């Protein structure tokens, strides 16, 4: 369908004809002050209306798919994928301009959006987590068999790429320095290709019943993320759980963490390996990152703070009418 449509794949995949009719009927029957649209690709379902639309973007999808085509797409697929990326860029920016106001998750996303649409009205609402939920279970310290953890939903291209880098370029070097260490990949929609990496020292777990158990049983979260976009909730959840975090500049982008304080940040496999080994061997460093990371999330990324900011934006948008 994408090949014969002006819409990109991401919009086509999410189109539902009955949804637009249902929204149109709802708007006719009741009086609404505001429409909150979550992600641009739901926008085709909203009929023409005078009700102001607030569009919240969890990530800049055009940049996510652009990175995939540049770094991962098979050579023979690049041309059709590039066509789709260009369609994605057009429609994503088109729907930003259709909204009364747009919300981004971070300052870095806002800056990228401003490059694409300079006059766009954008506010920032940091993503939040349930801090009390994640800090409720105490960490388990198991220094005899340290676990390096990666968590993700593998429908996201960035997570597939990050795990491939972790397994091929980083994990063998950590294992050579700490033979008893284990690598633990936890997530949803784990692909068959990733599942094949399972071995005596690499554990692949599909959908743990309680993700907090993964955070509390691990020694550190290692997230070699290269793909752009969005808020890395896994990093915030790990911090709130008291788990030390190592990630890349892209992985930490927009969060406001300081390298060496709330997390360790590097981009080369060699540096990421060195940092992981340091955390495993240095209990004092591990404890410091754990406590500073937990307090950082509590100050900046609790749901109540995000909700209060969003509530003020709702009021502002409605009152501007």
Domain count, the chain: 2
pTM of the model: 0.86
Encoding tokens for residue 234?
């896994």
Euclidean distance between CA atoms 109 and 53, whole angstroms: 20
Domain boundaries, position 38: 2-128+304-319
- Of 224, 223, 159, 227, which is closest to residue 193 (Cα–Cα)? 159
Residues 94 and 36 reside in one and the same domain: yes
Residues 214 and 294 reside in one and the same domain: yes
Percent of the chain at pLDDT exceeding 70? 98
Give the H/E segment covering residue 49. Answer: none
Residues 9 and 149 reside in one and the same domain: no
Residue 263 is classified by DSSP as B
Is residue 34 over pLDDT 70? yes
Euclidean distance between CA atoms 263 and 288, whole angstroms: 10
Is residue 98 over pLDDT 90? yes
Q: For the CA atoms of 247, 40, 53, 25, what is the dihedral angle to 10 degrees?
A: -130
**What phi, psi does 45 have (nearest 5°)?**
-85, -10
Residues 207 and 296 reside in one and the same domain: yes
Residues 143 and 270 reside in one and the same domain: yes
Residue 51 is classified by DSSP as S
**What phi, psi does 14 have (nearest 5°)?**
-105, 0
CB 96 within 8 A of CB 77: no
Indicate which CATH number applies to the domain containing 276: 3.40.50.2000
Residues 245 and 159 reside in one and the same domain: yes
pLDDT mean across residues, the chain: 92
Euclidean distance between CA atoms 141 and 98, whole angstroms: 51
* pLDDT digits 0-9 by tens, 64-90: 889 889 988 888 889 999 999 999 999
pLDDT value for 295: 96
* pLDDT digits 0-9 by tens, 146-196: 999 999 999 888 899 999 999 999 999 999 999 999 999 999 999 999 999
Residues 24 and 60 reside in one and the same domain: yes
pLDDT value for 120: 94
Question: What's the Cα-to-Cα distance from 300 to each of 139, 240, 304, rounded to whole Å?
Answer: 22, 11, 10
Residue 168 is classified by DSSP as I
Euclidean distance between CA atoms 192 and 201, whole angstroms: 18
Residues 120 and 150 reside in one and the same domain: no
Residues 149 and 270 reside in one and the same domain: yes
Encoding tokens for residue 58?
């969890």
Q: Within 10 Å of residue 253's Cβ, how many Cβ atoms?
A: 21
Residues 119 and 206 reside in one and the same domain: no
* pLDDT digits 0-9 by tens, 190-243: 999 999 999 999 999 998 999 999 999 999 999 999 987 656 899 999 999 999
Is residue 254 over pLDDT 90? no
Encoding tokens for residue 252?
């930490």
Euclidean distance between CA atoms 249 and 286, whole angstroms: 20
Residues 158 and 256 reside in one and the same domain: yes
Residues 224 and 260 reside in one and the same domain: yes
């Amino acid at each position: 369908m994408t090949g014969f449509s002006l819409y990109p794949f991401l919009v086509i995949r999410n189109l539902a004809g009955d949804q637009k009719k249902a929204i149109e009927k709802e708007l006719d029957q009741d009086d609404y002050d505001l429409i909150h649209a979550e992600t641009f690709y739901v926008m085709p379902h909203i009929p023409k209306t005078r009700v102001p639309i607030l569009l919240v973007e969890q990530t800049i999808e055009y940049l996510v798919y652009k990175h995939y085509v540049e770094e991962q797409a098979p050579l023979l697929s690049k041309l059709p994928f590039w066509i789709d990326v260009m369609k994605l860029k057009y429609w994503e920016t088109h729907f930003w301009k259709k909204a009364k106001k747009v919300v981004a998750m971070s300052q870095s996303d806002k800056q990228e959006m401003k490059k694409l649409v300079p006059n766009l009205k954008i506010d920032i609402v940091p993503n939040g987590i349930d801090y009390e939920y994640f800090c409720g279970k105490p960490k388990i310290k198991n220094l005899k068999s340290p676990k390096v953890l990666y968590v993700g939903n593998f429908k996201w291209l960035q997570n597939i790429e990050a795990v491939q880098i972790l397994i091929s370029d980083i994990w063998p070097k950590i294992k050579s320095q700490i033979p008893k260490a284990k690598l633990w990949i936890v997530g949803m929609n784990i692909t068959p290709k990733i599942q094949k990496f399972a071995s005596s020292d690499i554990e692949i777990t599909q959908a743990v019943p309680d993700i907090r158990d993964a955070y509390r049983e691990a020694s550190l979260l290692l997230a070699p993320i290269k793909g752009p976009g969005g808020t890395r909730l896994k990093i915030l959840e790990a911090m709130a759980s008291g788990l030390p975090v190592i990630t890349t500049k892209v992985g930490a982008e927009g969060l406001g963490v300081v390298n060496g304080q709330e997390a360790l940040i590097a981009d080369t496999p060699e540096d990421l390996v060195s940092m992981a080994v340091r955390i495993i061997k240095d209990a004092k460093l591990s404890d410091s990152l754990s406590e500073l990371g937990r307090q950082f999330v509590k100050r900046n990324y609790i749901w109540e703070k995000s909700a209060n900011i969003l509530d003020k934006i709702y009021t502002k948008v409605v009152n501007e009418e």
